[in-house]
Amino acid sequence: MSAERRPVHSSRRSVLRAGALTGLGLAGAQLAVPGRAGAAPGTGFLVGRGLADATGEVAEVGLMGYGRFDQQAAGLHTRLRARAFVVADRASGRRVMLIVADSPMIFHSVHQAVLRRLAGAYGDLYTEQNVLVTATHTHAGPGGYSHHLLYNTTTFGFHRKTFEAVADGLFEAAQRAHDDLAPSELVLSHGTLTGASVNRSRSAFDRNPKADRDHFPDAVDTHTTLLRVERAGRAVGAVNWFPVHSTSMSGDNRLVSADNKGYAAYHWEREVHGVDYLADGSPAFVSAFAQTNSGDMSPNLDLRPPTTPEDFAHTRANGLRQFEAAAAQLPEPGVRLTGPVDSRLVYVDLSDVTVGPEFTGDGRTHRTSKPCVGASMAAGSLEDGPAFPGFEEGDNPFWDAISDSVIYTVSPELRQAQAPKDVFVPIGEMNRVYPWVQERVPVMLVRIGRLHLIGIPGEVTVCAGLRLRRTVAAIVGADLDDVLVAGYANSYFHYVTTPEEYDAQQYEGGSTLFGRWQLPALQQTAAALATSLRDGTELPLGPKAPDLSGKALSLQPGVVLDAPPLLRKFGDVLVPPRESHRAGERAETVFAGAHPGNDLHRGDTYLEIQRRDSGGTWRTVADDGDWQTRFHWARDGVAASRVTLTWDIPQGTPPGTYRMVYHGDARSLTGTITPFTGTSPAFTVR
């Protein structure tokens, strides 16, 4: 008996919920999100929450983050979600939208595409001035969706299917948040989280002044902040900010995964609450785990890259720690926010900023320069995952000499502006021929009551973030804890280090593209935004970045043809599961499959784990968005595919009869795509 194929966002099943919680030692986790029946309904804000699938291609596309040509996707571990929140001040009518995406980066291409979609749907209600789009920076997401060439090198060019999936997913989450607007209260709280991060660039950190180092006694930013949404005294959503890289999944991993922050959100939404959407179509609970100044914060506490398969356990453990620190704040009274709601965004040409002496630290005026890649950037972060062999963090005199004497000549002015960086690639000069990296970047400041978010399109170290936060807090008169850097926001320009950290030319300094004075230039911009926000004045937009959508290069051909193995048809079971399993074991089935790039199944699923109920009907208990499932794809010859579905059966799974269902799509030589379904033999769980 076959079950009807249904979308992921249908009413969520709960049969595995108890098993999942028991396996994590959290059978009582619901107690972490208590209601507060005595609280009055909120009247100051309208708040909306939205959740959508933003997963791109999961096969034969480079994964983004480690810069490895060999890290090509070969399946799916967890789907990538976009989570949106709209906050409207009922008194002034002003509103802001925050979108947090399980994505490696938010490139300007995506930012523009989402804004275009919002303008088409809502006119000028949501614009670049009030929409903050950020990424969790998973290093296990598909790339190829930038319009700047540097970020598409390991993906062999632009991948339109992934681009559209990301943009559509973010827009869909925004639509759902808009439709969900309802009277709500917002509560802000702060906590401390240790044992979830380590400074991967301690030698650079130690160069900072004592006033900065003393703020982080262990060279780690332990500050965790929670903004929760309450309706009728009960939490219905939350945004958590905590700085740690999403590099728990290793560079050897080949499955698309939301990494540690994605797991934290998944756990809260699915394993604790048990459902995605209620019967009326509204989300049961939406939890976003957003980045702050995580530039030098690694989840790999032993300062070595994870290896497969230990990276799956490390990902869950780190995500669980972030969830626990956030959920522990729910019983706290926190601060109930009141208006105003406001925001500002400007564009800055970071390649040409004159920085005033009040921001440079040495009492002199300085200038930024055209972007340059340092040799230490090519080395990668050795603690999270090295990139190109032959490069080291710190000094690279050999490559400096080779590049300067053989490949190109660095002008004295550029060398001085970038010193002491060993310039490996003067990528700003390459921009004259083709857009490799963005130079005109957006910088944003958002206010929701006493909470201030500084939107920076890069990876900000903790001390660089501290200086940005102090700059804004001093101007607007806010508590420092209530001013946060929202990293990976609206675009991407690599790293932001303090001038002192830059001098060390570790990976982060080599990746600070615009020279030693890049952070002071951003502080100067943040100060202008804060002053404008405080005084209620407008700011010129600045040199807006161009639309490069017509220049994207696609170098990798698409799927040409799918064919089943000899004497087989699509969906046939090649290797069946065992007849009987116990909880804690892995069930596995191999199917004659097709290339998953034919249909990304966004908002749907490639697989289902089904259980037969007492009436003989098959009920879905897990899909490809669940932690316990994995979807592996591999070529079998030239045109055939082998698809392996696995299910790690959670402890506490009810005994019964189960089966695995695979949903595929095959392309003919004429380009026709035909969906098909494969079903495994039934097996028992004892």
**Is the preceding peptide bond at 420 cis, omega within 30 degrees of 0?**
yes
Say if CB 430 and CB 438 are below 8 A apart: no
Measure the CA–CA gap between 455 and 348, rounded to whole angstroms.
13
**Which alpha helices (H) appear in 123-258, and where do they start and end?**
160-179, 202-205, 210-213
Nearest CA to 29 out of 400, 356, 285, 296 is that of 285
Burial bucket for residue 176 (CB in 10 Å: 0-12, 13-18, 19+) = buried
DSSP 270-321: IIIT--SB-TTS-BS-EEEEE--S-TTEES-TTSS---TTHHHHHHHHHHHH
Measure the CA–CA gap between 217 and 657, rounded to whole angstroms.
54
Measure the CA–CA gap between 478 and 38, rounded to whole angstroms.
29
Say if CB 205 and CB 199 are below 8 A apart: yes
Measure the CA–CA gap between 493 and 501, rounded to whole angstroms.
17
Say if CB 364 and CB 357 are below 8 A apart: yes
3-state helix, strand, coil split of the chain in percent (to 5) is 25, 30, 45
Query: Given CA atoms 266, 267, 268, 273 in this order, what sign does their dihedral have?
Result: positive
Range 327-348 burial, b when 16+ CB lie within 10 A, else e: bebbeeebbebebebbbbbbbb
500 is in an annotated binding site: no
495 is in an annotated binding site: yes
Measure the CA–CA gap between 33 and 385, rounded to whole angstroms.
36
Measure the CA–CA gap between 8 and 52, rounded to whole angstroms.
10
245 is in an annotated binding site: yes
137 is in an annotated binding site: yes
Measure the CA–CA gap between 682 and 686, rounded to whole angstroms.
13
Q: What is the number of other CB atoms lying within 10 angstroms of the CB of residue 203?
A: 12
Reply yes or no on whether 614 is catalytic.
no
Given the residues 197, 248, 298, 343, select the one marked as catalytic.
Answer: 298
Measure the CA–CA gap between 2 and 423, rounded to whole angstroms.
61
Helix (H) or strand (E) segment spanning residue 237: strand 234-241
Measure the CA–CA gap between 16 and 650, rounded to whole angstroms.
7
Query: Given CA atoms 85, 86, 89, 92 in this order, what sign does their dihedral have?
Result: positive
Q: How many residues does the chain have?
A: 686
**Which alpha helices (H) appear in 361-461, and where do they start and end?**
375-379, 397-402, 412-418, 427-430
The pairing of beta strand 451-455 with beta strand 483-486: parallel
Q: Which residues are annotated as a binding site for Zn(2+)?
A: 137, 245, 459, 495
The set of catalytic residues is: 298
